[in-house]
């Protein structure tokens, strides 16, 4: 009888622990790193019910801009700055990146809209900072 209770407890805890261990949740964000010599990349994922996707982290320098497009389900997009402040939801494109450091980009289903779940393609571009012009 005790063995059955222990097994039931382990199974009950298994699902939440598995979700915590899933890459792409807030505790384990997916690192976005662009290939040398390029300023853009695309990633694919899926927004699902009870899923732990999709949180991404990338590095940027103060003064850069984040351009992004998303093809797929109705999605809420937010951004957290290196100091913890940010825009969530309603991230414009382009979005100013005012600090140097690690930014967190968060995608979540827009539960107020139809079609909030499914596969998506996220494309981001972060061009080098513009330098001041001298006359």
pLDDT (tens digit per residue) in 123-133: 999 999 876 54
Pick 18 or 53 by higher pLDDT.
53
104-119: b (≥16 Cβ within 10 Å) or e: bbbbbbbeeeeebbee
Per-domain residue ranges for the chain? 24-125
Residue 6 DSSP SS3: helix
Q: How many helices (H) and strands (E) does the chain have?
A: 1, 9
Question: Could you give the CA distance from residue 61 to residue 97 in angstroms, rounded to a whole number?
Answer: 7
Question: Could you give the CA distance from residue 114 to residue 85 in angstroms, rounded to a whole number?
Answer: 29
pLDDT (tens digit per residue) in 60-103: 999 999 999 999 999 999 999 999 999 988 899 999 999 999 99
Pairing of strands 64-71, 55-60: unpaired
Judge: domain 24-125, CATH 2.60.120.380: yes
Cα radius of gyration (the chain): 19
Q: How confident is the model at residue 135 (pLDDT cuts 50, 70, 90)?
A: very low
Given a cut of 60, whether residue 134 has pLDDT beyond it is no
Given a cut of 80, whether residue 53 has pLDDT beyond it is no
- Contact partners, residue 14, CB within 8 Å, separation at least 6: none
* pLDDT at site 32: 94
Task: Calculate what percentage of the chain has a pLDDT beyond 70.
Answer: 79
Give pTM, 2 decimals.
0.76
């Amino acid at each position: 009888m005790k063995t059955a209770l222990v097994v039931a407890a382990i199974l009950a805890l298994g699902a939440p622990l598995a979700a915590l261990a899933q890459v792409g949740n807030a505790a384990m964000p997916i690192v976005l790193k662009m290939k040398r010599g390029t300023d853009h990349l695309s990633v694919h994922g899926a927004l699902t019910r009870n899923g732990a996707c999709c949180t991404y982290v990338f590095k940027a320098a103060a003064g850069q801009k984040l351009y992004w497009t998303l093809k797929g389900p109705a999605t809420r997009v937010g951004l957290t700055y290196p100091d913890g402040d940010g825009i969530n939801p309603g991230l414009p494109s382009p979005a100013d990146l005012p600090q140097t450091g690690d930014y967190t980009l968060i995608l979540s289903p827009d539960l107020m809209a139809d079609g909030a779940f499914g596969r998506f393609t996220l494309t981001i571009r972060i061009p080098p900072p513009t330098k001041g012009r001298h006359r």
